């Protein structure tokens, strides 16, 4: 299996994995509204290796690996790669999980989450907690690489409480992952303050000196492709990952991103809800969509009132009727 990261055109643009956000439906929305060659890599929501290795648990998490037929068609049409992201703290469970994934699903790569700062993940010694244990992190990367011929990448942060580029990035790069995506904040910062792209630059230079073939992606506070380009040029990274900005601007990988109308926002909300209903039916509650009501419906007069009304919707029919009524006013 070839390392697709090396073959991607540069600069590389990727969509961040986001829990309860980047399922197959939202990824398809992004793909539908991206320009050709502007979205190179998409990720699943992250999945716990302990859950995958548990006979009952795997049934509860397997929906996160679903790739619909229509998403798969778009991925092939646009030559966009899709990677499964997993997290945990036991090397043996990474090995078992990756074996399970590669035997049951079709992904282009596997990404290891070593950057999630959420307390429930850190309490289980996963995500950004691994920054405190570089030797364990190295063992996890090694076990993961031994389980598959797919490229193994790592997403992480600059440090635990303060930046630890010299020790942390050096440890990861020494295992020669196919790619490293670095969020320019420490674990303790969560999502507060500004992402430090100077630290990303330093980390990129260090990683490349240790493992020149490793692709390096910067992440944090990237709100547009033009903003991404500026950060890429200044930091010397191979590309940028866009995260939270995608929720309020699913056109972010398109030239349309700078001219979004109220009508476009209403249309994409309906498009998303209808696709959600088609893909998931009763498998997922309609309420899952409400986070998108908040993000899509903003930046125009009357948005706050409409969002309030949307939150009372409990079905696709309710949503369609409300937007139809709003459009007639």
Domain extent for 9: 4-257
Are 64 and 20 in contact, with CB atoms under 8 Å apart? no
The domain boundary residue, chosen from 229, 257, 285? 257
Question: Residue 253: what pLDDT?
Answer: 96
Assess whether 101 and 151 both reside in one domain: yes
Find the helix or strand (DSSP H, E) in which 100 lies. Answer: helix 91-104
Q: Are residues 208 and 283 in the same domain?
A: no
Q: Mind telling me the catalytic residues?
A: 116
The strand pair at 109-114 and 239-242 is best described as: unpaired
Q: In the predicted model, is pLDDT for residue 296 greater than 70? A: yes
Prediction pTM value: 0.95
Q: Find, among 30, 59, 65, 62, the residue nearest to 44 by Cα.
A: 65
What pLDDT was estimated at residue 292? 94
Q: How many domains are there within the chain?
A: 2
Does 300 lie in the same domain as 157?
Answer: no
- Arithmetic mean of pLDDT, 239-268: 93
Q: Summarize the confidence of residues 208-222 as an average pLDDT.
A: 98
Residues 218 and 295 in one domain: no
For residues 245 and 229, give the distance between their C-alpha atoms in angstroms, rounded to a whole number.
15
- State whether 207 and 304 are in the same domain: no
Angle between helices 316-328 and 303-310 (to 10 degrees): 150
Q: Is the pLDDT of residue 329 over 60?
A: no
């Amino acid at each position: 299996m070839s390392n697709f990261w090396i073959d991607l055109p540069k600069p590389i643009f990727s969509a961040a994995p986001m829990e309860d956000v980047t399922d197959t439906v939202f990824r398809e929305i992004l793909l539908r509204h991206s320009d050709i060659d502007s979205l190179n890599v998409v990720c699943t929501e992250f999945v716990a290796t302990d859950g995958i290795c548990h006979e009952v648990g795997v049934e509860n998490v397997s929906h996160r690996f679903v790739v619909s037929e229509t998403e798969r068609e778009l991925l092939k049409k646009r030559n966009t790669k899709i990677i499964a992201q997993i997290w945990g703290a036991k090397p043996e469970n990474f090995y078992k999980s990756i074996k399970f994934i590669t035997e049951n699903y079709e992904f282009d790569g596997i990404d290891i989450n070593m950057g999630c700062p959420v307390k429930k993940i850190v309490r289980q010694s996963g995500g950004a907690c691994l920054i405190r244990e570089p030797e364990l992190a190295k063992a996890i990367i090694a076990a993961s690489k031994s389980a598959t011929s797919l490229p193994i990448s790592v997403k992480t942060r600059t440090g635990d409480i303060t930046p630890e580029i010299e020790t942390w990035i050096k440890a990861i790069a020494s295992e020669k992952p196919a790619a490293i995506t670095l969020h320019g904040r420490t674990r303790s910062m969560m999502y507060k303050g500004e992402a430090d792209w100077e630290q990303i630059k330093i980390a990129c230079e260090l990683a490349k000196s240790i493992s020149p073939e490793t692709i390096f992606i910067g992440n944090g506070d990237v709100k547009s492709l033009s903003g991404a380009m500026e950060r890429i040029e200044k930091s010397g990274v191979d590309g940028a990952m866009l995260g939270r900005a995608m929720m309020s601007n699913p056109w972010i990988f398109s030239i349309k991103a700078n001219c979004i109308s109220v009508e476009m926002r209403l249309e994409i909300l309906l498009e998303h809800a209808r696709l959600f209903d088609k893909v998931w039916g009763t498998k997922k509650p309609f309420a899952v969509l409400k986070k998108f009501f908040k993000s899509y419906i903003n930046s125009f007069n009357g948005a706050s009132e409409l969002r309030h009304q949307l939150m009372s919707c409990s079905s696709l029919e309710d949503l369609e009727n409300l937007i139809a009524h709003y459009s007639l006013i």
